[in-house]
Structure 1
Amino acid sequence: MKTKRNIEILIVTLLTGFVVIYAIWPSEPRYQGKTLTKWLEYYYIKYGSGTGRNRPLPPKEHEAVDAIGVKAIPTLLSMLKAKDSPTRTNFIRFWRQHGFPKIDWGMEANNQHEMAGMGFAILGKEARAATSGLIKHTVNEDPKIRRTALLCLNTIEADPQMLFPVLVERLKDDEDLVSHVAAYMLREKFPKEAERLGIYERFPELKRSFKPGIQHFDWLL
């Protein structure tokens, strides 16, 4: 019994140490003592996903992301590729079931994708240095990440010469929503090339003043 008790104490100690390190590790930029993630979580909870240049926040709300500037890019790219792994999900469930101290585990992956979009929308053209990183995410195995990466490329107004081949490639995407976003962006940014590529035959609704309905993300178009 004593050995079992010692093992339990060791496990709890290790888990507690892991959580403390996870919580305080200085891995991202801060503003007024809060991490970029905390600021974006605050924006997301208070205002929802429709926050960006097209839906301006009060000056104070933009201030944090604007002040952090391009230093936010690595964190935003990391948030964009977030996934909810079974290991993380099971660990959090285990922690809560055993009544350990309450921990802020952060947002789920889908929420983080939206928060990344918010950050890029606030930075706008200032985040163009993220273009290559976003392009890499357009071939992610997760179609939601591919779609969000395209939308972020749109909101930072990525260089047309870099953007065009990405959009052409994503027209072939097996996920309709991804290919539809690519087609819409081609129509808006490269109208002559879009017609040559036959997107109006494939997506006849684009002949009209049409924007693809994307829950939570249409403000990035």
Structure 2
Amino acid sequence: MRTVRKRSQIVFAVFVIAILGIITWGVLSSHEPVHAGKPLSAWCEQYGTNHWPHPGSDSEKQAQAETAIQYIGTNAFPTLLVMLRANDSSPWKRRLLALAYKQHLFKIQHVQAWRQNWQAACAFTALGAKGSNAVPALIELYNNPPSAPSQRYTAMTLGNIGPAAKAAIPSLIQAAEHSGETEVRAYAINALSQIRPEPGLVLPTLIKCLNDSSTVQNEAMDALIAFGPGARPAVPTLIQLLQNPNTDIVSHAQKSLSQIDPAAAAKAGVK
């Protein structure tokens, strides 16, 4: 009886996931830009899969997808924002997906939400300066994220846009200092380092983050390097980190000190 009930749950889950997939596909495809016979989401997947060098990546396919996304241009914004908002974190959806993946009768056509978030962020990289027109919508999404992965990859998007995303600085500082998610704090710091605000705006936050978890500390030290000598107010804290038991933290602190204040680094025994 229990086995029959379990099978019924799985069949129901597959049915619901299939219906949701059809609805989502219908909504996306009815508004999605197309280039060379392929929808934008397909180009995003091709670009994201091949964007970072790794075994199996194809630079020719990456370049082809980049050209397609650039051709679509700002018309890509609505679809990319939908992808950045994708969210699998609700308990009922997670349970349905878990049940659906247990069966082997049907192949589940489901692109995980975090992967959609990431592909959209990569696509904004391909858009380059054109992405700056989406900054207000991205800030709104960043401040009201449906999930932690969505917020992380929205930060990645803002960082990739660069100085043109300076309006996001207050939101990124807030997340870097107060988010309860380690990765959200780390991505916020990385985005700040790429937007390159005035040192006075962000240095207090970066120095504060030097006392965070190792992931956040390393991001903060990498960000400080980008400010060069302008990051000298962080030197006393960096010197303290040379005594950290984590060798990776010590290595990052040595590198940061050497590039921010070579004299202080030498005095502290950094070679």
Query: Normalized against structure 1, the TM-score is what?
Result: 0.68
Report the counterpart of residue 168 of structure 1 in structure 2.
173
Preserved contact between residue 128 and residue 158 of structure 1 (Cα < 8 Å)? no
Cα distance, 1:145 vs structure 2: 1.3
Structure 1 position 194 matched with structure 2 position 202 = yes
Q: Are 1:128 and 2:136 matched, yes or no?
A: no
| Distance across 2 between alignment mates of 1:166 and 1:152 | 14
1:35 counterpart (34, 39, 42): 39
User: Which position in structure 2 is the counterpart of 1:11?
Assistant: none
Residues matched between the structures, number? 191
* Richer in helix (by share): 2
Which ranges in structure 2 are unaligned for 5 or more consecutive residues?
Answer: 1-14, 211-216, 227-271
Secondary structure of residue in 2 paired with 1:138? helix
Aligned CA distance change for structure 1 residues 97 and 66 (closer, same or farther; 3 Å):
same
Name the Cα RMSD after superposition.
Answer: 3.6
Aligned residue type for 1:123: L
Query: Once the 2 structures are TM-superposed, how far is the Cα of residue 133 of structure 1 from its aligned partner?
Result: 1.6
Q: Tell me which of the two structures has the higher relative contact order, counting C-alpha pairs closer than 8 angstroms and 6 or more residues apart.
A: 1
Return closer, same or farther for 1:88/1:67 CA change in 2, 3 Å cut-off.
Answer: farther
Distance 1:42-1:106 versus aligned 2 partners, 3 A rule: farther
Counterpart in 2 of 1:5? none
**Alignment map for 1:123-162 (pairs within 5 Å):** 123-139=127-143, 140-157=145-162, 159-162=164-167
Give the Cα–Cα distance (whole angstroms) in 2 for the partners of residues 116 and 94 of structure 1: 25
Residues in 2 aligned to 1:37 and 1:143: alpha-carbon distance in whole angstroms:
22
Superposition pairs for residues 17-32 of structure 1, below 5 Å? 23=25, 25-32=29-36
Residues in 1 aligned to 2:188 and 2:73: alpha-carbon distance in whole angstroms: 27
**The structure with more radius of gyration:** 2
> 1:1-221 maps to which residues of 2 (within 5 A)?
23=25, 25-45=29-49, 47=50, 50=52, 57-58=59-60, 59-84=63-88, 86-87=92-93, 90=96, 99=105, 105-139=109-143, 140-157=145-162, 159-171=164-176, 172-187=178-193, 189-190=196-197, 191-195=199-203, 197-203=204-210, 205=218, 206-207=220-221
Unaligned runs of 5+ in 1: 1-13, 212-221
Tell whether the 8 Å contact from 1:124 to 1:157 is kept in structure 2 after alignment.
no
- The whole-number CA distance in structure 1 between the counterparts of 2:172 and 2:103 is 46
Question: Structure 1 residue 142: deviation in Å?
Answer: 1.5
